[in-house]
Structure 1
């Protein structure tokens, strides 16, 4: 029987990183602590995980000694600008001198105290070049200073069986006493999935079909930006192609519109201006967004759509996490 590894889930969102690790480690992983400050994300998390502890809120207010011991730290920390505080001695400074006041520091603080076997982080691809690459250097250096060997790589979700073009950076740090020379990031082997594969069964509620008035607004908005040489605006995706990266704010949904000619009601169920468009243009549903991130259909979605779109836009692609977690598991075993 393999060891049981204990994990903590920081900046947990709706538990996507945890789900990927649970798929890889199966019965051999037990989550002992979760921190997430957003109350709606907490609601979705509680619905889907049956934990015998309360979700902790703001990580900056949690004392590291109050966290149970753990072997694996999971952290999808937000990428904040790093204040290069201190004496500007470059990266020879200790981590407390170079990245004060950022949430990343809480990951380092907690891991320095508990000394887990592995630290796993996910972040936006922009972290690679943020502040001309210095931000990533600070992160790597900070983990090295508390006794870890660090690996990182950008991977694209579309290579891992979901039809979403989403590049993210993944950081894996092994404690120095663990032989991790053979660790490698996975290469995606399933690149053939398309949007058509993740559509919900028809009929889709008419509330997801855009009104003709709103379509006119989107077209005008796109034309305005086009005349200024910007590529902003709505986008209709090919059902046999891939979605763009789903994001939580602004044009997130409008960048991933589809044309769905299957039968649906033309009677609005929400208050709209004008009538439902005749071209069958619609937003993807929250369940379709969940599938774009590789969440199983058993994952419960019970809060308002607005929050669900935000949560999936902020979340991670589970099959990518699972593939990396499998390679981490091999090293640990």
Structure 2
């Protein structure tokens, strides 16, 4: 970690990068912090649509060239990696997610988590900052979670965890995620009285404020399709006759009257819908637009500002998948700010 007369620089390697949720959050912090600057020195990602989205939005520190993608994390020669101060990433959650089989792995060294350990044992970054689904810490997966904490301790890290929900930090989405942060023990570990949980932020805007003013017509379902949903979900004919735009939780078969969206997921899970006041007696029931996906992931997208750029070649499915599998950057910004103010 380099120090200048103005700012301390934290060099970051972003594993399992996706669209670069950590990078987006760190850009925000770089603009507001007078003492700290994050610089990403490289990333690892294998999904081409994620790589294209990452490269469209993140450049090297000189802003002239793309950051190096080290590709498949299992094939990285650790000796070739540049030095860095923090490893960050959301390691694959499928074994632990309620949307998957949730079988977990009793020994996490049998999963891609092992690659984090392999890299950190050699590079010995000062900090580790990771994310996963809440299911990793509960039920059948809890032994895996406990093994992960034990392994971090074995390789010399003092780790704490927390579970944060986006709706508790200003974004109207119910999105709980498990966060890990650790400091090397030989550098003193975490400070006394260290807290992993930031103070909650009151929500002042709700889902209506995050939706497009004029959504594209191809997002809407036909009345016949809506009638089929009502039939399958056993709803009365006027069930979708709402007074304001709200989220319909397809998974739990109910309108969210709390004015908050359910968890954003990849489009193939087919669970997030928007229900709007009827027009000429016809139900208005639709998918989220791509901008709406990313607004609910914490991005500022309006007439004055666009915090994320979409590559021209990406489809609705590809971009929706990236959003559903990504980090909600508002909560990441708040968490990283909270953490580094204590260090």
Contact 2:226 2:283 in 1 (8 A): no
1:124 Cα shift? 0.6
Confirm whether residue 157 of structure 1 aligns to residue 166 of structure 2: yes
The offset of 1:319, in angstroms, is 1.4
Q: Deviations over 1:114-140 (max 9, x none)?
A: 111110111111111152511111111
Residues 223, 283 of structure 2: 8 Å contact kept: no
Match of 1:142 in 2: 151
Match for residue 280 of structure 1 among 275, 284, 295: 284
* 2:15 paired residue number: 10
2:212 is the counterpart of 1:200: yes
Query: 1:316, CA displacement in angstroms?
Result: 1.3
Q: Give the deviation of 1:199 after TM superposition.
A: 1.5
**Residue equivalent to 1:35:** 44
The root-mean-square deviation of aligned C-alpha atoms, in Å, is 2.4
- Counterpart selection for 2:126 from 106, 117, 124: 117
Which structure carries more helix by proportion? Answer: 1
Residue 257 (str. 1) matches residue 280 (str. 2)? no
1:180 aligns with 2:184: no
**Aligned: 1:21 with 2:26:** yes
Match of 2:225 in 1: 214
**1:190 Cα shift?**
2.5
| Deviation (angstroms), 1:108 | 1.1
Find the counterpart in structure 2 of residue 93 from structure 1.
Answer: none
2:194/2:342 contact within 8 Å kept: yes
Structure with greater strand percent: 2
Q: Distance in 2 between matches of 1:164 and 1:311?
A: 16
The gaps in structure 1 that reach 5 residues or longer are 85-97, 225-230, 267-276
Once residues 288 and 54 of structure 2 are traced to their aligned partners in structure 1, the CA distance between those partners, rounded to angstroms, is 22
| Partner SS, residue 68 of structure 1 | coil
Say which structure, 1 or 2, has more relative contact order (CA 8 Å, 6+ apart). 1
Q: Per-residue deviation at 1:74? A: 0.8
Partner residue, 1:94: none
TM-score normalised per structure 1: 0.82
Match of 1:300, SS state, is coil
Which whole-Å CA distance do the structure 2 matches of 1:62 and 1:194 have between them?
A: 43
Q: In the comparison of the two structures, how many residue pairs are matched?
A: 297
TM-score by length of 2: 0.80
Distance 1:106 1:320, change over 3 A: same
Q: Is the counterpart of residue 309 in structure 1 residue 320 in structure 2? A: yes
Work out whether residues 235 and 256 of structure 1, in 8 Å CA contact, stay in contact via their aligned partners in 2. Answer: no
Aligned match of 1:70: 84
Q: 2:111 aligns with which of 102, 118, 142?
A: 102
1:155 to partner: Cα distance: 0.8
Shift of 1:83: 4.1
**In 1, distance between residues paired with 2:86 and 2:126?**
6
The CA deviation string for residues 23-73 of structure 1, in whole angstroms up to 9 with x for no partner, is 224471110011111111111111111233332221111122121110011
Q: Is the CA contact 1:237–1:257 (under 8 Å) kept in the aligned structure 2?
A: no
Matched position secondary structure for 2:309: coil
Equivalent residues of 1:148, 1:175 under 8 A apart: yes
Instruction: Could you tell me which runs of 5 or more consecutive residues in structure 2 were left unpaired when the two chains were aligned.
Output: 1-5, 96-102, 236-249
Shift, 1:323, TM fit:
1.2
CA distance in structure 2 between the partners assigned to 1:82 and 1:66 by the alignment: 32
**What secondary structure sits across from 1:155 in the alignment?**
strand
